Amino acid sequence: MVFAAGLGTRLRPLTDNMPKALVPVGGTPMLERVITHLIASGVDEIVVNVHHFAQQIIDFLRAKDNFGIRIDISDESDLLLDTGGGIRKARPFLDGNEPFLIHNADILTDLNIRKMYEFHTTHNADVTLLTADRTTSRYLLFDHDNCLRGWTNIKTGEVKPEGFVYNPTEFKKTAYGCLQVVSPSIFRELEKYAGPEKFSIIPFYLSVCNQLKIVSYQQSDYKWFDIGSHETLAKAEEWIKTTI
């Protein structure tokens, strides 16, 4: 599943007339770069969620003949559901016998996705989150068995889930990289998750991290860009120039 429904407010004015997912990076829409990377990794079925300028994405995919694979649309035109709500709405496309990958459209990376998928299956995980040791204010916290146990905002001191006590010697803090491999086993918990239709997936994971096996995946031999701002867009374009 590719998350392509975001508003892209930090990329204005580029997103005043187009969805963030179609903003060019080195002359190619970021959604196209994500899809071609997924196809090169062996993916042959994708679901794309849409909201902001949804029809433009639908028309773009149609013009590209869905890049020769099956691409379904999860339409969030009426309400932007955030990551958790988006996955729950797309369940008819995702539920089955195989794990599926979640990839934000605004993440540009050359990560070896096959290796991440294999890590997920060999570790019998419910969820595998791409993480990195980069500087941020918000961190996921994993125990010595590499299982998710909590989250903290180091600027405010806030921790989740409720009642969790963060001891730096007991937990490793890492930053989430907006890619994950997910087994359909999460849907049994996701359907029980109370709250609004729109919700973020990370707070959900924190609420069920003692029921599900949610692990961290880290590598060092890849490039990663969050193209959510003009600054990171420029950095990504510079990197693309060096790879051509």
- pLDDT, position 178: 94
β-strand pairing of 172-182 with 127-132: antiparallel
Q: Is position 126 within any domain?
A: yes
> Given a cut of 60, is residue 244 above it in pLDDT?
no
pLDDT for the residue 104: 96
Q: For residues 91 and 201, is the Cβ–Cβ distance under 8 A? A: no
User: 244 burial class (0-12, 13-18, 19+ CB within 10 angstroms)?
Assistant: exposed
Whether 243 maps to a domain, the answer reads no
Q: What is the pLDDT of residue 40?
A: 96
Domain assignment present for residue 244? The answer is: no
Please check the confidence at residue 234 and state whether its pLDDT lies above 80.
yes
Residues 217, 115 contacting (CB under 8 angstroms): no
**Would residue 221 count as lying in a domain?**
yes
Residue-wise pLDDT for 75-109, tens only, equals 999 999 999 999 999 999 999 889 999 999 999 99
How much is the pLDDT for 131? Answer: 97
- Rounded average pLDDT over 153-165: 90
Q: Is the pLDDT of residue 163 over 90?
A: no
Close Cβ partners of 244 (under 8 Å, ≥ 6 residues apart) = 26
Residue 142: inside a domain: yes
Helical segments of 22-81, H only = 30-40, 54-63
Contact 84, 180 (CB under 8 A): no
CATH number of 96's domain = 3.90.550.10
What digits encode the pLDDT tens for the residues 166-182? Answer: 888 899 999 999 999 99
Q: Are 60 and 21 in contact (CB under 8 A)?
A: no
Tally of domains within the chain: 1
Report pLDDT for 192.
Answer: 86
Span 32-69, pLDDT tens digits: 999 999 999 999 999 999 999 999 999 999 999 999 99
Q: Does the pTM of the predicted model rise above 0.85? A: yes
pLDDT of residue 33: 97
**Within a domain: residue 164?**
yes
Partner residues linked to 131 by β-bridges: 176
Q: Residue with structure tokens 């990551």?
A: 83
Question: Mind listing the pLDDT tens digit for each residue in 146-158?
Answer: 999 999 999 998 9
Whether residue 212 lies inside any domain: the answer is yes
pLDDT digit string (tens) for 171-221?
999 999 999 999 999 999 998 887 788 999 999 999 999 999 999 999 988
For the record, the structure tokens of 55 come out as 């029809």
Q: Which domain holds residue 148?
A: 2-238
For residue 25, with 0-12 CB atoms within 10 Å meaning exposed, 13-18 middle and 19 or more buried, which class applies? buried
